[in-house]
Amino acid sequence: DFGLKDVVRFGARRGIKLALELRMRRRALSEIEQKILETSYLHAPDADIVTVVYVKDEKEKYKLENVPDALIISKEDYLGRLVGRNGERIRAIEKDTELSLRAIELTLDLKPLITSLHPIGWIGKHIVDVDFAGPDLVVTVNFENYGAFLGAKGAHIRLIDSVMRKLLDVGVKVKQLQRTKEARGRRR
């Protein structure tokens, strides 16, 4: 199956990015997400926000910590306007909504999106690739950190899967990067 990495032409990449953005903008927002969006525009009127995803329900369902209550996705190059100098705007939004927020930019590199939702902060260094494969988003993780990515009883990946289904209507699968024989030999 072809993924985002297989698209080479600049115009085609731009088209895919616009399609992703349009899909995110069209999704119906809940009351809480709408409130967060309005509060964000109140404190950062010059920011271009694509969408807001409320994650607190999933966070409580899987009993996870270090996960934001909501994720704000801004258009590329508008994140600084949303966050503000020294984070003053995002802190004001958090204070008004009384929620823990995290903001990211929408790019074709979906690794920051996965990393921002994952409870373990350092897992981003061990994600090798994030790409579409058919109807699913496939995350390739190093062999050593596969278990940490999945979480206890698969809680971490279930959280990411449910949020991505809510956001893009796309499931998430995890693939383990196999170690070579040379790497196995060196470790022993």
* 54 alpha-carbon distance from chain centroid: 12
Tell me if 186 is assigned to some domain: no
d(CA 87, CA 110): 23
- For tokens 């979480």, name the residue: 151
Looking at residue 188, its pLDDT comes to 52
Is the pLDDT at 7 greater than 90, yes or no? no
How many domains are there within the chain? 1
Tell me if 187 is assigned to some domain: no
Tell me if 168 is assigned to some domain: yes
Tell me if 161 is assigned to some domain: yes
Q: Which structural domain range is residue 40 located in?
A: 4-178
Tokens of 166: 């809510």
Average the pLDDT over 9-29 and give the result: 93
Of residues 88 and 8, the one with the higher pLDDT is: 88
Looking at residue 152, its pLDDT comes to 93
Q: Are strands 101-105 and 136-141 parallel, antiparallel or unpaired?
A: unpaired
Looking at residue 181, its pLDDT comes to 65
d(CA 68, CA 180): 36
| CATH number of the domain residue 116 falls in | 3.30.300.20
| pLDDT, tens digit (0-9, with 9 covering 90-100), for 113-171 | 999 999 999 999 999 999 998 889 999 999 999 999 999 999 999 999 999 999 999 99
| pLDDT, tens digit (0-9, with 9 covering 90-100), for 46-87 | 999 999 999 999 999 999 999 999 999 999 999 999 999 999
Tell me if 12 is assigned to some domain: yes
Tell me if 184 is assigned to some domain: no
d(CA 109, CA 82): 20
Tell me if 100 is assigned to some domain: yes
Tell me if 113 is assigned to some domain: yes
Strand partners, 104: 73
3-class secondary-structure state, position 176: strand
| Orientation angle between helical segments 155-168 and 10-26, nearest 10 degrees | 90
Is the pLDDT at 96 greater than 80, yes or no? yes
